[in-house]
Amino acid sequence: MKDRLVSALKKSAADYTEVRFEINDSNSITFRGQEIDSVSSSKLSGGIVRACTRGGWGMAVFDSLEDLGNGIREAGEGAVLVGREKTELAETAGPATAEVPARLERDFRGVSLDDKIKILSGYNTILLKTDKSIATTQANYSDSFRTVHFASSRGNYFREERPRVILALSAVARDGALVQRAYDAVSSKTTFNVVQGLEALAEETARRAVKLLKAPPCPGGVYPVVLDQEMGGVFAHEAFGHLSESDFLYENPQVRDLMVIGREMGVKELNIVDDGSHPGLLGTQAFDDEGTPTGKTYLIREGKLVGHLHSLETAAKMGEKPTGNARAIGRGVPPIVRMTNTYIEAGKMSFKELLAGVDRGIYARGMMGGQTMMEVFTFSAAYGYRIENGQVGELVRDVVLTGNVFQTLHNIDGFGNDLKILQKGGGCGKGGQSPLPVTDGAPHLRIRDVVIGGK
């Protein structure tokens, strides 16, 4: 493969050309209610050529390697049509050639379909039988084995295997027209074993759906809020992380001013990190999809903005170093600047101390979703509890938090000592590419004056 890609690239006349070819084998099993809802498997291969001439990009997407030469020609022609300036791309760091095989403690490709179904069926039965108000369930197992070949006209080549296994459980409880859903998931890129022994998780998920039927909706208003590690992680990712992605900054002078290095972003205890090289996490890979080795980047240190996330182009145009954050979700799409494993570093307070500072507030737990439109963020907790006089109280549902990131980062007034990076299903969406494997993490956080949407 290496020789084929490298030799095809020699025909390109562009300032810079790269080709990425991928093969993705995946399998999925879903139970819904009493029975299996679907069993499917796919094998898809394909690639993309990107060429840059005088700063303009041309891209060609193809399925078969037989079309590689044609793709290089078409991408080159597109780049010539677009380019009017100067090609500015940072140097590619790292070795010229690398092979990065998957390191699987237990390889899911060695587990039979029957065994996978048996495991999933066991959890589904627990979900169904936990309570009579469970109306239906969904239990999904999926795995994928993605092999990425990358070569550029700079002479770089890598082959990296990127495996992933996900197990997601959901229970729907119903009382008349009221329907409540509870969800949880686990995921790993290192072992099949992560999907085993989850009977307690299945039971807890079903019980939560049942309890949510009786829980009142969270009242709207402005409250002090304690976020659990999962919500704190979503906050790090959604509220702040996306702002640090330089494809949004590098050609936008006003936003660059806003996100200038050294700016005071939050309280002094605040440190936010993105680390694509953290061993074993879902957002981890050896190289990004432009051939840059991944690494650890501090985005906020002691409350001050100290870093941005980069591709080769954004790094060159902002005069900074590439960080290995140009990532593509799969074959046939270009890499864009994305996060990897993003987390807020731990502080010193115990959970009890965090709660003690709240007379009347909300403890938000688990993630249902998060979305951001740069300064504005919104995320939904899977569930929450009232906090009354420093004690965790009544369970509440429909907990949706929103705010302005620039205000909110200054409003964090408590950092727990219990950092956790969560590896669940799902992932990040941006530019139509979703879900990209990422992880988020945080310690428990306490934030003043958070807007909660309520009826």
Partner 1 sequence: MPDSNLDKMRAELLHGLDVAKKQGAQGAKLSFGRGEAISCSFSAGRLKDTEVRRSSAYVIEVLVERKRGTTAGNDPADLPEMINRAISLARVGSPAHFSAYPAPAETKKVKKYSGKTVKITRAGLIENCGKMVDALKRYNPDLFIEAQGSRSVSEGLLVTSGGVSHRFEDTAWSLGSLAQKTEGTDMLFVGHGHSFREVNDFYNPDLITERLLFDLKHGEKIVESPEGRLPAFLPPEVLGMFLWPLVLGVNGRNVAKGDSPLRGRLGEQIFDPGLTIRDDPHWDFSPGAAEIDGDGIPTRVMMMVEKGVLKNFLYDLDSAGMAGAEPTGNRGCMPYSPEVLPGAEKSGDLLASIDDGIFIRELIGYGQSNMINGDFSGNVALGFRIKKGKIIGRVKNTMIAGNIYDLFKKDVALSSDRDPMLRLPSAVVQGLSVSTSK
Restricted to residues 219-248, the positions that interact with partner 1 (CB under 8 A) are 220-222
Contact window for partner 1 (CB under 8 A) among 8-16, 273-281, 299-307, 444-452:
444-452
d(CA 229, CA 417): 11
Smallest distance, partner 1 to C-beta of residue 156, A: 21
Nearest-Å Rg of the Cα atoms of the chain is 23
Residue 399 CA to residue 292 CA, distance in Å, equals: 40
Restricting to residues 166-185, name those near partner 1 by CB under 8 A: 172, 174, 177-181
**Distance in angstroms (rounded) separating the CA atoms of residues 236 and 284:** 17
Distance CA 66, CA 194 (A): 39
Q: How far is the CB of 322 from partner 1 (least distance, A)?
A: 19
Size of the site for partner 1 (CB under 8 A): 78
Contact between 267 and partner 1 (CB under 8 A)? Answer: no
- 453 interacts with partner 1 by CB under 8 A: yes
DSSP state of 293: B
CB of 454 to partner 1, least distance (A): 6
Query: Does 335 interact with partner 1 (rule: CB under 8 A)?
Result: no
Minimal distance, residue 168 CB to partner 1, in Å: 15
Task: Please enumerate in sequence order all residues whose Cβ is within 8 A of that of 387, keeping only pairs 6 or more positions apart, or say none.
Answer: 224, 226, 355, 358, 360, 361, 362, 363, 393
> Segment 294-333, which members bind partner 1 (CB under 8 A)?
332
Distance CA 267, CA 408 (A): 10
d(Cα 232, Cα 343) in Å, to the nearest integer? 8
Q: Does 98 bind partner 1 (CB under 8 A)?
A: no
| Residue 4 C-beta: closest distance to partner 1, Å | 16
Using the minimum distance from each CB to partner 1, give the nearer residue, 95 or 369. 369
Cross-strand bridge partners of residue 403: 377
Chain residues 129-148 in contact with partner 1, contact rule CB under 8 A = 135-136
Q: Which is nearer to partner 1, 90 or 265 (CB)?
A: 265
* Structure tokens, 73: 């020609």
| Residue in this structure with the two tokens 């990422």, named with its chain if needed | 438
Q: What is the pattern of x (binds partner 1, CB under 8 A) and - over residues 41-70? A: xxxxxx---------xxxxxxxxx--x---
Residue entry with tokens 């590419």: 433
Output 40 or 193, the one with its CB closest to partner 1.
Answer: 40
Residue from 4, 13, 33, 306 in contact with partner 1 (CB under 8 A): 33
Q: Which of residues 346-385 bind partner 1 (CB under 8 A)?
A: 368-380
CA distance 411 to 438: 26
